[in-house]
A and B are shown apart, each in its own frame.
Chain A
Amino acid sequence: MMFYRKAQRNRKPSYQSHTDAANAASDNGGKPPISAGLADNLAYLRQELGDSPDMIVRTFEIGGNRIPAGAVYMDGITDKDMVNEYILKSLMIEAGEAMNPDEKPDILAYLKANALTIGEVHLLKDWDCIILSVLSGDTVIFLDGSPEAISGNTKGGEQRTITEPSTQVVIRGPKDGFTESIGTNVSLVRRRIKSSSVRLEPFKIGQTTKTNVAVMYIQGKAEDHVVQLLRERLSGIQIEALTGSELLEELIQDQKKSPFSTLINTERPDTVANHLLDGRIAIFVDGTPFNLIAPTTFLMNFLSTEDYYTRPEAVAAIIIVRYAALIISLFAPSIYIAAITFHQEMIPTPLLLSLASQRESVPFPAFIEALIMEFTFEILREAGIRMPRAIGQAVSIVGALVLGQAAVEAGIISSAMVIVVAITGISSFANPSYNMALSIRLIRFFLMVAAALFGFYGIAIFSIILISHMCSLSSFGVPYMTIKTPSVPEAERKTLFGIPLTKEKTKPQPAPDSGGSGAGGNDQAQPASAPSNLLNESGSS
C-alpha cells in the first residue's frame, strides 16, 4: 500500500508537467473551439473519448424547421429514465410543438429556458467542460449551427443503497451509513441539520480522477481560520489521482511524519452531524463511505457514536474502560517483558514462582517469546480480515488451539505469555477508532524493544518521547493532545478527558437558524413550522 502510494507520488511531477503542457496547448488553441457543425462536434467528442462503446450518441431533429441535434451521455452513470423522459422527450416532442421557427440564433438559450424540464442545466462553451460533464454522468446536447452545448444533470445509474455501516456499529442509534456517492452522503447529513447556516463548498481534486470533494461546516460554529486553512490546503493539492479519503487525509494533515492520524474518519452521518454541531468540519470524498472530520484531537479517537445516545454516567464509565484498554493494548507485552527480564523483584513471590516454573521449559528469552506470539497474533488478525467467512471459523480454531494451547504444551511459549497477548489483542479492539488501533499496534513493538533493552526505564523514556511527539502534533492548528474539549469554544457538552460531564445541549446554539436539534435528538422548543417539516421528512424517507 505504502509503496504504491509512493509510486503514485513519484509519477506526479511528470504528469503535472504533461497536463500543464496540455493546458497551455488548449490556451493556444490545442483543443479546437466547438464548431458549429453537429457532425464535427460529435466526431470530435468520439475521438476524444477514444470511440468508447459506452458513450451513447442520439441524434434527432428539433421543431418544425428540423434543426439537427445530438444528445451525448455515458451509459451506466446516467439515469436512463431521466434522459428519455426529460431530455429526449421534451426536446423531440414538446419543444417542437411550442417553438417559434424564427428564433434561430438564440435557440440554445431558448431550449434551456423553455424546453428542458430538468433541474440543473448549464450552458457549456469549451471542450474541457463538455468532456468532464459527459464523464460525470450529465447529458450534453449539441445543436447544429451553434458553437455551444447544453448539459443537463442526469447523474444516476447503479449505486449501493444506504445500508447499516459495517465498521461502526451501534446498539442504539440510527442505522444508516454513508455510501460511495457524495451526493447521497451530503443529503444524509443535511437531513439531520436543517439549518440555513450549513455551508457546503465543492472542490475537485486529482488531475485524472477529478474526484469531487466537499467541505461541510456550520457557519458561526466552525472557526473561520480552520475553514480557511482547510480551503487553502485542499486547493493546493496537486495530485494525479484521489481514490479515497485515506490519501486525502495524508495530504492535508499538519504533520506528515507521524504514526498518528490527525483526522478521524467516519462512516456514519449522525457522527458527522454531531461533529458539525460541535463546530468541526466534515470533508466528503466521492467514491468512499469514509468521510473525514477535522480538526481532530487525540481524545476524540475514544469517542464512539454510541456515546451520544447513552446516558452520560454510563458513557463516563465506558470511556474509562476504553482508556484502560488503550493502556493495556499499548503496554501489556512490554511491561510483561520488563518485569520478567529486569524487575523480577516486583512480581509477588507466589506469582513469580509460578511464572518461573512455566518459563522453565521455554527456550526463548521473554522478548523473543513475546515477539513470536505478537507476530503470530498479527498474522491471525490479518488473515482473518481477508479470509472468506466460511473458513473463518476453522482458522480461529487453529489459532486458538494450535497457537495457544499446543504451543504452551509443546514448551515453545509460556501460558502467561498467551494471556498477555490475548488481553493485548482484545484490548486493541475496544478502541473505537481503527486508525488509532493501527498506530498502537505499530508502537507496541517499539515499546517491546525498549522494554527488552532497558526494562521499565526504557518504557518510561520511550513513553516520554512518544507523548512529546504527540504533544507536538496538531490538527489544523488545534493541538492534538489538548485536554479540553476539542476545538469548540462554546461547547455545550462539557467533557473532561473526553468524558462527558453534561449531556444536554441546553443553551441555544450560536448558529442563527432555528431548531438545531441535530442527531443528538433532544427536542427543543421548535418553531411552529417544524411539525410540517417533520411530516415531510417521514413521508420522504
Chain B
Amino acid sequence: MTKKQAISPTQLFSMMILFEFGTALVLPIGLGSGANAWLSILLAMPGAMILYVLFTYFEKQFPSMILSGYTQKIIGVYLGWPVSFLYILFFIYISARNLREAGDLLISASYDQTPIAVVQAIMITAVIYVLCKGINAFFRLGEIYFLIIVSIGILSHAAILASGTLDLRNLLPVMGKGWMTTLKNAYPNIFMFPFGELVCFTTVLPYLKQKQLSKKTGLLAILASSLMLSLTHAMEVAVVGGDVYSRATFPLFTVITIVDVAEFMQRLDSFVILALIIGVFFKMTVYAFAAASVANDLFRFKEHSLIAYPVGIIIFLVSIILAWSVPEHNAEGFTVLYVVLPVFCLIIPVLLFIVHLFRKRFGHST
C-alpha cells in the first residue's frame, strides 16, 4: 500500500457524484413527492450546498482532522468521544441499510432464487477488499466508475429519447399540489437523502491534495449530481407518468423495460442493475470508509486497513438482522429519514458549528 495518502479534486468530484447517485438514481426519492420529484431535487440543492459549505468550514478550521477529531476539539473529549462513537454506529447502520436495499432490489430484479445473505456477502467482500487497498485505490476506482456510470447514463438517456416513449405532458402539472408539497419533499426528505448524507465526506476531505479546492469541487459535484438526478427523475416521470412513477418499486427499471429502439436495443435492464450495483457499492463503501476512519481515529489503531474486516463484517450482520421483510425495512426508512439522518447530518454539525462560534468569540481557548 502506498504511504502517501492523497486524493485529487477530480477523484473527490467523481466520488461525490457516485455517492449522490447511490440508490437515489434508481429508487423514487423524496417519499411521495410523485411527479414533482425532479423539482424537489432542484429545490433541495441550495440547502445541500449550504450544508456542504459548513463541512468545508470545519475542514478549514481544523485542517487534517476528520469529523471525530474536531468533534472532540469543539465539545471536549468527554462529550465528543461518545458523539463520535455514535457516528461510527450511524455510518455502519446506513451502510448496512444500503447493503440491504441492494440485496432486496437484486433479489426482486433477477435473483429470486438466491438467498439474500449470499448476495450481500458478495457485495461486502468487495467492500472489504477495496477498503483494505486504501483510500488512494478506492478513489481512483471511483474515477473510473464515474466514467462508466456517465456512459451508462448517456446511453440510457439516448435510448429513452430515441424510443419515442417520452411524453413531456406527463410532467404537467408542475407543482400540481402547490408549492408547499414540493418544498416539503425537498426539505427535509431530499435534503437529507441523498444530500445530507454528504456528512461522510467530512472524513475524506482532509486527504484532498489541494485543500483550497475542496469547497469548489464539492459544490460543483452537488450541482452536477442534482442536475443529473433531476434530469433522470424527470425523464422517468415523462416516460411512465407520475402515477406509475410513485408506485413502482424502482421506476428507472420500469422505464428502461419500456425502451425499444429499432427492435434492437430492447433490454437495457442490465444497465439499470449495473448502475444500481455501482451506486450502492460506492455509497456503502464511502459509509464504511467513514466508519473505519472514525474508528481508527477514536481507537488509534496502528494498522489502518485492518479495521476494514470488523467494520465490513458488522455491516454485513446488521444488514441481515435489520428487518424481516421489505415493508419492515421501508417502514424503518421513515424513522431514518425523519430522525436519524437529520440528527447526524444536520443537527449535530450545526450544533457543533454554533458551539465552535461561541467558543471562538467568547471563550479564551486557543
Instruction: Give the B-binding residues of A (Cβ under 8 A).
Output: 342-343, 345-348, 454-458, 460-461, 464-465, 467-469, 471-472, 474, 479, 481-483
Contact = CB atoms under 8 A, between A and B. Distances in A.
B171 interface: no
A350 to B, nearest CB: 9
Contacts, number: 85
B281 interface: yes
Contact of A481 (B140, B264, B273, B277): B140
Interface string B108-128: 001100100001001101100
B130 A454 contact: no
A472 B1 contact: yes
B77 interface: no
Contacts of A342: 110-111
Contacts of A483: 143-144
B134 interface: yes
Given A468-B130, A481-B144, A474 B274 contact: no
A106 to B, nearest CB: 56
A228 B281 CA distance: 39
Contacts of B267: 345-348
Contact of B123 (A348, A461, A482): A461
Contacts of B292: none
12 contacts: A342-B110, A343-B269, A343-B270, A346-B269, A348-B267, A457-B122, A461-B126, A461-B281, A472-B133, A479-B140, A482-B140, A483-B144
B283 to A, nearest CB: 13
Which 9 residue pairs of A and B lie closest in terms of their CB atoms, listed nearest first? A472-B137, A471-B140, A346-B267, A471-B137, A472-B133, A468-B130, A460-B277, A468-B141, A471-B141
Given A461-B122, A464-B130, A455 B110 contact: yes
A468 B129 contact: yes
A329 B255 CA distance: 31
B185 interface: no
Contacts of B140: 471, 479, 481-482
Given A345-B269, A467-B141, A468-B133, A455 B111 contact: yes
B18 to A, nearest CB: 12
Contacts of B136: 471-472, 479
A465 B106 contact: no
Given A457-B111, A464-B126, A471 B133 contact: yes
A467 B106 contact: no
Interface string B125-158: 1100110011011101101110000000000000
A456 B281 contact: no
Interface majority SS (helix, strand, loop, mixed), chain A:
helix
Nearest to B128: A465
A460 B278 contact: yes
B138 A457 contact: no
B5 interface: no
B23 to A, nearest CB: 15
A150 B122 CA distance: 69
Interface residues on B, range: 20 to 34
Nearest to B139: A471
Given A467-B144, A471-B137, A348 B122 contact: no
Contacts of A468: 126, 129-130, 133, 137-138, 141
Contacts of A346: 267, 269-270
B210 interface: no
B36 to A, nearest CB: 32
Interface string B39-52: 00000000000000
B262 to A, nearest CB: 12
Contacts of B129: 465, 468-469
Given A348-B266, A455-B111, A469-B133, A464 B141 contact: yes
Contacts of A469: 129, 133, 137
Contacts of B106: 457
A495 B218 CA distance: 27
Interface string B306-318: 0000000000000
A376 B123 CA distance: 33
A472 B305 CA distance: 13
A474 B2 contact: yes
Given A345-B110, A454-B111, 6 more contacts: A454-B114, A455-B111, A458-B122, A460-B274, A468-B126, A483-B144
A467 B130 CA distance: 10
Contacts of A465: 125-126, 129-130
Nearest to B143: A483
A503 B1 CA distance: 36
Contacts of B264: 348
Given A343-B270, A461-B277, A454 B133 contact: no
A455 B112 CA distance: 12
Nearest to B4: A477
A458 to B, nearest CB: 7
A477 B110 CA distance: 42
Nearest to B118: A454
Contact of A457 (B1, B119, B143): B119
A347 B267 CA distance: 7
Interface string B161-184: 000000000000000000000000
Interface in B228-270: 263-264, 266-267, 269-270
Contacts of A454: 111, 114, 119, 122
Contacts of B122: 454, 457-458, 461
B315 to A, nearest CB: 15
A469 B125 CA distance: 13
Contacts of B145: 464, 467
Nearest to B268: A346
B141 A456 contact: no
A479 B136 CA distance: 9
A208 to B, nearest CB: 35
B273 A457 contact: yes
Q: Among the interface residues A455, A468, A474, which one has the most CB atoms of the partner chain B within 10 A?
A: A468
Interface string B68-109: 000000000000000000000000000000000000001000
Contacts of A456: 270, 273-274
B20 to A, nearest CB: 19
A476 to B, nearest CB: 12
A481 B26 CA distance: 29
A464 B281 CA distance: 9
A468 B114 CA distance: 26
B2 to A, nearest CB: 7
A74 to B, nearest CB: 47
A458 B138 CA distance: 19
A345 B302 CA distance: 50
A464 B133 CA distance: 12
B97 to A, nearest CB: 19
Contacts of A348: 263-264, 266-267
B64 to A, nearest CB: 22
Contact of A471 (B126, B144, B266, B269): B144
A352 to B, nearest CB: 10
A483 B110 CA distance: 34
Nearest to A474: B2
Contacts of B126: 461, 464-465, 468
Q: Among the interface residues A342, A347, A457, A467, which one has the most CB atoms of the partner chain B within 10 A?
A: A457
A461 B143 contact: no
Contacts of B273: 456-457, 460
A467 B144 CA distance: 9
Nearest to B264: A348
Contact of B277 (A347, A457, A472): A457
Contacts of A474: 2
Q: Among the interface residues B110, B126, B136, B137, which one has the most CB atoms of the partner chain A within 10 A?
A: B137
A348 B270 CA distance: 13
Nearest to B140: A471
Contacts of A467: 141, 144-145
Given A465-B126, A481-B144, A343 B277 contact: no
